[in-house]
Amino acid sequence: MNGKKVVDWKKTTAKKYVDLTNVPAKDLKIVVNQKHQTVNIYKNNKLVEQFLCSTGKRTKETATPVGTFAIEPEHGTWFYNAKPDVAEGARNFVSFKDHGVYLFHSVVMNQDNQPIMSRQGRLGHPNSHGCVQMSLPDNVYFYNTFSQPDKVGTKVVIEPFSK
């Protein structure tokens, strides 16, 4: 799934979108495989959804934290970090660690909520400051599913690059 070709961030990378509306958080698990740069969603331990992502660049300052976390209540349709060393934002974020620090979100946007073109086409490769980035349609699906109050507590596992 994570071939070396450039992936169109405007298109889905999923085969289908499974409706998880009435599935309780305890029956769901999100596994981010950093080696393959995929988001994998399980229902009752069965893989039901998979799409490409970009996790953190492989440096001490930008690595995606490895371990077991949970979907947190913090979410929103837009954020922008104006710090000079960051200067980017994203659409449709859902927190999974440190209440708004580590997020699932769209590909990166500028201050006008438009894609930063020099940062696109990197899905399937580490490209973030520690968050998990997704294509625009995959991100909308993820946000619509996991920003709901009944999905808070959904288990999130971030696997290391070696797994």
**Residue 41 phi/psi, 5° resolution?**
-110, 125
The DSSP code for 115 is: B
DSSP assignment of 11-38: S--SS-----TT--GGGEEEEEETTTTE
3-class SS of residue 73: coil
Please give the Cα distance from 66 to 43 (Å, whole number).
Answer: 21
Retrieve residue 122's tokens. Answer: 């990197």
The catalytic residue positions are 105, 131
The neighbour count for residue 46, using CB atoms within 10 Å, is 7
132, 32 in Cβ contact below 8 A?
yes
